[in-house]
């Protein structure tokens, strides 16, 4: 299945600058609307209304930092669950060594050789915890562990912690996807704003090429051409004088 294409910005300004400039250029456009329409009929209604709508839409979509905050919170929650899972597994291994001294076989069954590769992996660690829970729940193993001081609640927590990590990982992945979708929606909307605004500004260069004040109203930094500056008359030479 083909991965969806990333939506890229067609402008280099910040999102907020684009929205601010859209408001300013829209106001200037409305003041000179009849001039634009006379030369470029495509700017007749509903162009202005469509421009206003896409600007409002872009502004209504939360900026990326809002989604980053939400995603960070879910990541922090997952990190805490992973840390708790590691502590539980290390507790189990300690009591296994106390209950079954010099028994490498049971340590293998508990999953100790897989710990280093699984300890920081949110997919592998739950599997390891479930494997450890299965082995620790075998009656004779459980009895031996509890005889050394391991609590039954700690053994049961191996399973519940594994499920918590799995569930929180799903929540985190959904938050990441939601951030991507919102970012794509926002960028798509802002691209529409920029397209309409830059079209108006491009046409304004032709309309107001002999009117510096109005020409300057429609300047954009991204690809904008500097306003025409009146050049002083060349100085006369002695011969010309």
What percentage of the chain has pLDDT greater than the value 90?
70
In which band, very low, low, confident or very high, does the pLDDT at 68 lie, cut at 50, 70 and 90? low
- DSSP letter at 28 equals H
Range 39-55 average pLDDT:
96
Range 189-216 average pLDDT:
95
Asked if pLDDT for residue 229 goes beyond 60, the answer is: no
Range 102-118 average pLDDT:
95
| Cα separation, 166 vs 226, whole angstroms | 57
- Can you read off the two tokens belonging to residue 142? 């459980």
- Where residue 226 falls (left for φ over 0; alpha for ψ -120 to 50; beta otherwise) is beta
Asked if pLDDT for residue 233 goes beyond 80, the answer is: no
Question: Which stretch of 128-137, 175-184, 223-232 has the lowest confidence by average pLDDT?
Answer: 223-232
Residue 4: per-residue pLDDT: 54
Q: Tens of pLDDT along 111-169?
A: 999 999 999 999 999 999 999 999 999 999 999 999 999 999 999 999 999 999 999 99
3-state secondary structure labels for all residues of 166-197: HHHHHHHHHHHHHHHHHHHHHHHHHHHHHHHH
Residue 223: per-residue pLDDT: 42
Residue 65: per-residue pLDDT: 67
Global pTM reads 0.58
In which band, very low, low, confident or very high, does the pLDDT at 180 lie, cut at 50, 70 and 90? confident
Residue 67: per-residue pLDDT: 63
pLDDT greater at residue 65 or residue 134? 134
Residue 66: per-residue pLDDT: 63
In which band, very low, low, confident or very high, does the pLDDT at 224 lie, cut at 50, 70 and 90? very low
> Which DSSP string corresponds to 63-105?
PHHHHHHHHHHHHHHHHHHHHHHHHHHHHHHHHHHHHSTT-HH
What percentage of the chain has pLDDT greater than the value 70?
85
């Amino acid at each position: 299945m083909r991965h969806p294409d990333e939506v890229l910005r067609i402008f280099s300004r910040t999102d907020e600058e684009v929205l601010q400039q859209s408001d300013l250029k829209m106001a200037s456009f409305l003041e000179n609307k009849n001039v634009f329409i006379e030369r470029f009929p495509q700017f007749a209604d509903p162009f202005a209304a469509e421009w206003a709508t896409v600007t409002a839409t872009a502004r209504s979509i939360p900026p990326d930092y809002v989604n980053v905050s939400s995603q960070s919170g879910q990541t922090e929650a997952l990190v805490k669950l992973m840390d708790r899972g590691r502590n539980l597994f290390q507790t189990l291994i300690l009591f296994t060594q106390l209950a079954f001294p010099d028994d490498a076989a049971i340590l293998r069954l508990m999953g100790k050789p897989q710990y280093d590769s699984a300890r920081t992996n949110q997919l592998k660690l739950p599997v390891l915890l479930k494997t450890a829970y299965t082995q620790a729940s075998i009656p004779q193993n459980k009895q031996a562990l509890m005889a050394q001081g391991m609590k039954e609640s700690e053994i049961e927590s191996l399973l519940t912690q594994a499920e918590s990590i799995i569930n929180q990982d799903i929540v985190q992945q959904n938050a990441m996807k939601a951030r991507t979708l919102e970012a794509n929606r926002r960028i798509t909307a802002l691209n529409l704003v920029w397209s309409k605004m830059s079209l108006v500004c491009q046409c304004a260069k032709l309309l107001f090429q002999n009117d510096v004040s109005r020409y300057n109203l429609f300047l954009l930094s991204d690809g904008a051409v500097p306003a025409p500056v009146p050049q002083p008359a060349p100085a006369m030479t002695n011969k010309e004088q």
